[in-house]
Amino acid sequence: MCECGSSKTAGVGPFATGRSLVEFVLNAHGGSVAVSKLPHSLDHTCQGCGVPFVQETFVQTCPACGGVHAISPPRAGDADAIQFAGSDFVMP
């Protein structure tokens, strides 16, 4: 069984914030989590440019500015848990 969601320690793994969370989700399970569909799409506003969009996968870019946003599986139902990697983040 995977241990990536076994801790609820703030700032670590699936409970990290900002770029750390985006990088965690991008790397989780060899990158397969990042491209997986969310159980339910989440309405969100880009934390970079302010344009609204619908987050449909665990990692997604804003269609307007390309800003990278992510949410971890344990928090996938909470749009407030979507994190932004920062305006200077470039997808690997």
Write the DSSP assignment of 35-82 as a string of letters: TSEEEEEEEEE-TTT--EEEEEESEEE-TTT--EEE--GGGTT-GGG-
**Sign for the pseudo-dihedral over CA of 91, 25, 49, 52:** positive
Residue 78, pLDDT above cutoff 70: yes
Q: Is the pTM of this model over 0.75?
A: yes
- pLDDT score at 7: 54
Residue 89, pLDDT above cutoff 50: yes
Residue 92, pLDDT above cutoff 90: no
Domain ranges (residues) in the chain:
13-84
Residue 6, pLDDT above cutoff 70: no
Residue 74, pLDDT above cutoff 90: yes
- pLDDT score at 11: 64
What pLDDT, in 10s, does the model give residues 12-69?
A: 688 899 999 999 999 999 999 999 999 999 999 999 999 999 999 999 999 999 999 9
**What's the one-letter identity of residue 86?**
G
